[in-house]
Amino acid sequence: MNRAMGLALALGLLASGSAGAADTIKIGLMAPMTGSWASEGQEMKRNIDLLAEQANAKGGLDGKKIEVIIEDDGGDPRTASLAAQRLTTKGVVAVIGTYGSAVTEATQNIYDEAGITQVANGSTAVRLTEKGLKHFFRTCPRDDEQGKVGAAAIQKMGAKRIALLHDSSAYAKGLADEINAILKANKQNVVFFDALTPKEQDYSAILTKLKAATPDVVFFTGYYPEAGLLLKQKKQMGWNVPFMGGDAINNPDLVKIAGKDAAAGFQFLSPPVPKDLDTPEAKAYLASYKKKYGEEPGSIYGVLAGDGFTAVTKAIAATKSTDADKIRDYLVNKLKDFPGLTGKLAFNAKGDRVGELYRVYKVDKNGEFVLQPK
Amino acid sequence: MEQFLQQLINGLAVGGIYALIALGYTMVYGVLKLINFAHGDLFTYGGYLGLTLLTSLALQGRVGTAAAVALLVLMVMGLVGVMGVVLERAAYRPLRESPRLSAVVSALGASIFLQNALMLLYGARVQVYPEGLLPQVAVSLFGLQVPLLRILVVLASVVMMAALYLFVQKTKIGTAVRAAAIDQGAARLMGIDVNKVVSLVFLIGPALGGVAGLLVGLYYGQVNFTMGWIYGMKAFTAAILGGIGNIPGAMVGGLLLGVIEALGAAYLSIAWKDAIAFCVLILILIVRPTGLLGERVAEKV
């Protein structure tokens, strides 16, 4: 009897607690604030903080203030599943994030079962949206789309012998597989396909083996720290083969790690960074970001997190509801050509972003990322 | 053949770094029977402190290259050594009489603390050494590329290992270290201040780890706050491979591990490089549980 009463009391407290919290709309941000992708997570936070501040200055959402609740996923699937469980107990109506595909995958079902909309910003692995989860969206494009653009860029270079290198992560392996399949289907000669171990400092053993395969181009699908070291050590070896990379390389630290000389000429795929967009929304956002933080956003994924935030808040404002089904209905059926920070925003029924986003960038001799004509 | 030799050189250069870090593991284990899991993070601090000293003291351009490197090595050794002593006082000494597991847990905790402190101090982004302090010259030998810095790294580790070996074997303090390693109680009865010996070990071991971090920063030009983990694991493996507690063993284990990794990457698969290295470790431990140069110590009854 006592236990039952205690339970009733606890339930009553919980109910009043959540009723008292209803004067704000809580949006969760799950991001790698620590761990090896911490710089990405910190940029995600900057973008979301700025957008929430702007929205609150304009009177908030549906008459209520937006409250951003951050949980650190550490860039690690196990930490992320705990972070997701904590967020579901904090009354958030939607979650933005996260960066890595495997990390997002560990949290998808937790949010889905809790009926919370999730908008990932950097998780490009194909299978994330092929599962048929109703409330999962992403603002970044998928690996298969990037694979097409990557294979086309390689063919455009006229390379005969192609080397593909990944880092065994869900993202990098997925992208390398996509490109490999397209190249094989087009009867191209892939002479090398293997993975390096991320986070090491010395890639001379791998570069020596790559060199022995005599490729015309090396496509590395991993992340910028490794790409920077590969470029630097390739130059130290005195080997002049062109390198290309995927969108996880879009980070200005690449040039710092490799050095300007070694990075010059490197090409990579990426959704366009805000400074290359000429829409008034992107320009205004860039100015406000620079005003608040003193520099331009360095990472495209931080900005894509911002796009997730704008899409969700737009859906809540338009439907005057925080119900996940209504948000889904709005995002899939009503949101068309919405001016996002990285271009036009719209989602298909799987939750994938609609439209071609990828462009080819090239590092010039000053270390700047230059958008190549399509 | 050319690829084989090139990979051998690649492996020796990486192995030299492993060896230098492994010396710290092996010394601490030899005296305290403690695996200092925070050692990898002290190595990372070496890389970061080197960068800070290099830029804040404006060494580059003001003094010659050799003088700048010598100054950096001395300062980094001193600072990381002091960190090691403080770490031992704060995290290990209070637990010396506790079960050994407590000290291992404390070491893991210290490692996480050090890593996160570094992230908060310097930020999460990769830190980059200024370019052009050391000349990036490569010698071409029979078609092989041998960067001079790599030779320097291997030489530095060999010299430090030799100096450490002589210190432990030939000096009076070294004898005290060896005595404390065999039996702390008996050493205390012989008038050896065991606490001082332990402090000394925690000064030298981390100092060598710090130099390794500095060399990594100077050679690869890039340090990040998580790099201590993987280097620490490899060096720990190298120490066990060579026979933990044995100074030349750490050197042999480090160089061997580097070469196994490089050849494994070249002739089997790059992705399986680490797995191959650890399989060799397991094999050696099955055949020779004390490691390559470790001696079987008979327990007195």
Q: Which residue has the tokens 């005595």?
A: B179
Q: How far is residue A34's CA from residue A352's CA, in Å, rounded to a whole number?
A: 27
Q: How many CB pairs under 8 A join A and B?
A: 97
Q: Which residues pair with A245 in a beta bridge?
A: A220, A268
Kindly list the domain boundaries of chain A, sorted by start residue. 3-141+278-345, 144-270
Listed ranges B75-79, B130-134, B240-244; the one with the highest mean pLDDT: B75-79
Tell me which chain B residue has its CA closest to the CA of residue A196: B271
Q: Which residues pair with A363 in a beta bridge?
A: A369
- Least Cα distance to A255 among A280, A234, A225 occurs for A225
Q: How far is residue B18's CA from residue B239's CA, in Å, rounded to a whole number?
A: 9
Report yes or no: A95 and A111 within 8 Å, Cβ to Cβ: yes
Contact map slice: B 94-123 vs A, CB within 8 A: 116, 119, 123
Q: Which residues pair with A219 in a beta bridge?
A: A164, A244
Confidence of residue A130 (pLDDT cuts 50, 70, 90): very high
Q: What is the pLDDT of residue B295?
A: 66
Q: Is A295 helix (H, G, I), strand (E, B) or coil?
A: coil
Q: How far is residue B83's CA from residue A278's CA, in Å, rounded to a whole number?
A: 52
Q: How far is residue A348's CA from residue A355's CA, in Å, rounded to a whole number?
A: 10
Q: Which residues pair with B60 in a beta bridge?
A: B63
* B89-95 contacts at long range (C-beta below 8 A, 24 or more positions apart): B89/B199, B91/B38, B92/B32, B92/B34, B92/B36, B93/B195, B93/B198
Minimal Cβ distance to A36: which of B10, B226, B273: B226
Which candidate in B7, B136, B222, B225 is best for mutational testing of the A interface (most A CBs within 10 A)?
B222
Structure confidence by residue, pLDDT tens digits, A108-127: 999 999 999 999 999 988 88
Q: What is the pLDDT of residue B300?
A: 43
The pTM assigned to this predicted structure is: 0.78
**pLDDT tops 50 at residue A18:** no
Domain A144-270 has CATH 3.40.50.2300: yes
DSSP A66-102: EEEEEEE-TT-HHHHHHHHHHHHTTT-SEEE--SSHH
Chain A CB contacts of B275 below 8 Å: none
A323 reaches B (C-beta below 8 A)? no
The verdict on a CB contact (< 8 Å) between B126 and A253 is: yes
Instruction: Say which range, A230-244, B135-149, B214-228, has the weakest mean pLDDT.
Output: B135-149
Which candidate in B122, B126, B234 is best for mutational testing of the A interface (most A CBs within 10 A)?
B126
Q: What is the pLDDT of residue B84?
A: 96
Q: How many C-beta neighbours within 10 Å does residue B65 have?
A: 14
Q: What is the pLDDT of residue B285?
A: 85
A206 reaches B (C-beta below 8 A)? yes
For residue A35, give the DSSP letter.
S
**pLDDT tops 50 at residue B301:** no
Minimal Cβ distance to B226: which of A199, A228, A236: A199
For residue B56, give the DSSP letter.
H
Chain B CB contacts of A35 below 8 Å: 226
Domains A3-141+278-345 and A144-270 share a fold: yes
Residue B46's contacts (CB-CB under 8 Å, 6 or more residues apart) are: B76, B80, B209, B210, B211, B212, B213, B214, B217
**pLDDT tops 50 at residue A33:** yes
A35 reaches B (C-beta below 8 A)? yes
A14 reaches B (C-beta below 8 A)? no
A240 reaches B (C-beta below 8 A)? no
- Least Cα distance to B47 among A223, A201, A203 occurs for A201
Q: What is the average pLDDT across A234-245?
A: 91
Structure confidence by residue, pLDDT tens digits, B259-282: 999 999 888 888 888 888 888 888
Q: How far is residue B142's CA from residue B139's CA, in Å, rounded to a whole number?
A: 10
Q: What is the CATH number of domain A3-141+278-345?
A: 3.40.50.2300
Kindly list the domain boundaries of chain B, sorted by start residue. 18-226
Q: How far is residue A153's CA from residue A361's CA, in Å, rounded to a whole number?
A: 11
The verdict on a CB contact (< 8 Å) between B3 and A225 is: no
Which candidate in A33, A46, A200 is best for mutational testing of the B interface (most B CBs within 10 A)?
A200
Minimal Cβ distance to A229: which of B3, B119, B220: B220
B32 reaches A (C-beta below 8 A)? no
